[in-house]
Amino acid sequence: MNIQNYNKFKQKFPIDSIKTGVLRQQAFERVQKNGLPTKRDEAWKFTSVKNFSEISWNFPIEENYLSHEDLKWLSTQLSTDFYNFVFVNGQLNETLSDEFADWISIIETVESDFLNTSAEGEVKFIDLAMAGATQKIRIQISKNQIIEKSIQILFIQKSSTQSILSQPMVEFNLGENSQAKLIQNFVSLPSAMMSKFENAINISARINLATNSNLQFIQLQNENEIDFHFSRTQFELQSGAQLVSLDLALGAKLSRHYLEVLFCGENANAGVYGLTALAKKQHADHYTFIHHQRGANQSVQHYKSVLTDGSHSVFRGRVRIEPDAQKANSEQLNNNLLLTRDAQADSVPQLEIYADDVKARHGSTMGQLNSDEIFYFLSRGIDQTQAVRMLAFGYALELVYKFENKNLQKWILKTLTKKLESMIPNV
């Protein structure tokens, strides 16, 4: 990381709090000293960030104005069924964003933002994110509220002269007895496909669900295949909270998503789902940590991948049930569909159980499409490419239908269908 560029970054984005400014500088110094994870780090055993670390990354300093064509294309990404808030290189674009409701604000980072150390394997990327911290997006839904429309935070990167690394922060607080739907959407501009410069994002999100609240969460990562994506999403669930989460990894050259669910109360439920669809040399890494600190909670994980060419998917699912988490129930399943011989999947389930009155199970499968099923389609005049598309699409649908909202289903399926259609001809 260029020190000169970092000093310019600090000058443009100073922090009012002296203590917070010192913490940000210390995080940068740790990055300079410790570097980034390597395959010798157990949590990164199957994922190399060597290509990322060799690029001369710059913190975004200069404004990159969107062209008319950029604005025109982005307008197609902003559904009227959503509240839309657009961030370019980590900064709010007021032109494209809806008017701010009283529950969303942009605030300066504070000291407590620098004290999150629970994600042990992610510490080096957390330090990198803290080094680039300036402000955070805070969404505060008060108690007894039902937000009917989905809230979409759309992140895009734009640079024509250098490789840009932006590092936004999100804090989402859902009040007692409230309901909401939150989307974090990461896309690349079509014009960026012609650029010789890579873009990267390293985002941290903390999402707190109060007693008896209900959240549907979607993360859609669909950036250009030369870009890099690193993200951490950490949920805290109080008693009676209900969470349904879907993580879609479709784009980027390399992506890594750490997702943590911490049960802080009893009788809460978390359905954590993921779908990866990759082609060429794409690599996606999902690390989940489901932490049952209290009892009588239920967690279900189900991650699937569809892989072609020489793509690579990694799933590491860690479940920890503490002694005080009696009557916890945890299920974990990872399915991988390999459509070509060179595609690769690694699955690492981990169970740490310290209570005796619990239910916990896990499973993992890897395989190809059933030849009998393909023959069935061929015998009815459907060509092989179309048959593979239909079978892969059906394989993925199960997770999409975890969301009962028809608008969300339609929105997910539109992007997923386009991705599957682009990768199946390579089979």
Mean pLDDT computed over every residue of the chain = 92
Indicate if the pLDDT at residue 193 is higher than 80. Answer: no
In terms of average pLDDT, the best of 190-194, 230-234, 362-366 is: 230-234
Segment 79-123, tens digit of pLDDT = 999 999 999 998 898 889 999 889 999 999 988 888 766 787 899
Indicate if the pLDDT at residue 150 is higher than 70. Answer: yes
In this predicted structure, what is the pLDDT of residue 167? Answer: 94
Indicate if the pLDDT at residue 427 is higher than 80. Answer: no
109 token code pair: 């980072």
pTM > 0.75: yes
Lowest mean pLDDT among 8-22, 106-120, 157-171, 196-210: 106-120
Look-up of token digits 């955070």: 136
